[in-house]
Amino acid sequence: MTVDTVQAPAPGAAPGRLMRAEIKEQPAGWNRLLDEGQDAVARAAAAFRAADPTQVVLLARGSSDNAAIYGQYLIQIGLHLPAGLATPSVHTVYGRPVFPPRSCVLAVSQSGASADLVRTLAAAREAGCLTVSITNDPDSPLAAGAHAHIPLLAGPERSVAATKTYTSELLALWMFTRLVSGRRPEAPELAVLGEQVLERAGAECERWAERLSDVRRLLVVGRGYAYASAREAALKLMETSYVMAQGLSAADAEHGPVAVLDRQTPLLAISSHGPGTPSMASVVAAARAAGAPVEIIGDGTLAGDSIPALLPTDVPPDLAPLLEILPAQLLALELAVGRGNDPDRPRGLNKVTSTV
């Protein structure tokens, strides 16, 4: 999807109409990708198994960079392969592309059009890496430039704030790693759980947004898989509600940033049940000690008084990020609309950001 194919919201349309519709489309989009996308993912996985890379380098910007962080955890934990994030400017600014030997370079991008990613992927291919791309536009340069391409099949994303393409990127990465490791990418309950989370969060969201209506600063914290969710939640809040939000791993938060927490600076903890719970509990305790309001997107494991558990308890940890982000997307939307902003057209942003 490039700028000129995106239909701008009609003048006078309700603010956030596109973002709201695209948030709701997600579970159906997941089922479409699980079903119709499986062949393309299987081809990419077969190429990966044939090349037998010893590690993966992920290449992304913006929301897709947060999806890439999820992919980094998934590949390390699920495939037991080292995985890192590329620093595109080493190539595009300093002209020194460096890729590990026998690596797979995996580009993740909604538009598939960002110039720095296109150039870096081309350099990786020239250096002998296996290249795989995940984009929502099968005609984009990143789709054409890779050995294998996985289309998101999410339909055009018209709101500037990425929502459905973000979770589709997560799901494509999950399907890919499942197939690489020889397991079928089946998640029959996922869309049902997604609908439930959207319903629960929808019912809470207005109250929640009202509680946070005056907030201008916020820390968002997660651990492990939820680190990606924390970053993406913060990015949504920044770009739609103009809240200065920072998404951190619970461990990094304790190395300094927790000092900003105060009565006007809440903590948003994203925590499904899992091995990261103890370190999340430690940050929540620090926030409470600082008198900071604590909001939790969780399954009830972390004690939180403010809002009921929004997440189910029986989700595999590697799929939890698809569900965790849904309440944050709705919160960003409601906060923005409540403040009189139009999250479909945030100030100062375009849908496709072309960085070099």
Residues annotated as catalytic (active site), given as ranges:
351
The nearer residue to a second copy, 195 or 242, going by C-beta atoms, is 242
The 3-state secondary structure of 207-268 reads HHHHHCCCCCEEEEEECCHHHHHHHHHHHHHHHHHCCEEEEEEHHHHCCCHHHHCECCECEE
Of residues 116-135, those binding a second copy (CB under 8 A): 116
The nearer residue to a second copy, 160 or 191, going by C-beta atoms, is 160
- The yes or no reply on residue 307 touching a second copy (CB under 8 A) is no
What does the per-residue mask of binding to a second copy show for 51-90, with x meaning CB under 8 A?
---xx-x---xxx-x------xx--xx--xxxxxx-xxxx
What does the per-residue mask of binding to a second copy show for 168-207, with x meaning CB under 8 A?
----------------------------------------
Query: Could you tell me the smallest distance in angstroms from the CB atom of residue 44 to a second copy?
Result: 21
Contact with a second copy (CB under 8 A): which of 11, 182, 340, 348?
Answer: 348
Task: Say which amino acid occupies 247.
Answer: G
Query: Could you tell me the smallest distance in angstroms from the CB atom of residue 122 to a second copy?
Result: 17
Of residues 328-347, those binding a second copy (CB under 8 A): 346-347
Contact with a second copy (CB under 8 A): which of 9, 37, 224, 293?
Answer: 224
- The yes or no reply on residue 239 touching a second copy (CB under 8 A) is yes
Tracing tokens 């809040």 back to the chain, one arrives at: 237
Of residues 241-300, those binding a second copy (CB under 8 A): 242-244, 246, 249-252, 254-262, 265, 274-276, 278-279, 286, 289-290
Contacts of 252 (CB under 8 A, 6+ apart): none
Contact with a second copy (CB under 8 A): which of 93, 144, 192, 303?
Answer: 93
Kindly provide the residue ranges of all beta strands, DSSP E only, lying in 29-158, ordered along the sequence: 55-59, 83-85, 103-109, 130-135, 148-151
Exposed (0-12), middle (13-18) or buried (19+): which is 48, by Cβ within 10 Å?
buried
d(CA 103, CA 82): 10
- The yes or no reply on residue 356 touching a second copy (CB under 8 A) is yes
Scored b (16 or more CB within 10 A) or e, 226-241 reads: bbbbbbbbbbbbbbbb
- The yes or no reply on residue 100 touching a second copy (CB under 8 A) is yes
The nearer residue to a second copy, 105 or 197, going by C-beta atoms, is 105
Tracing tokens 């492990």 back to the chain, one arrives at: 224
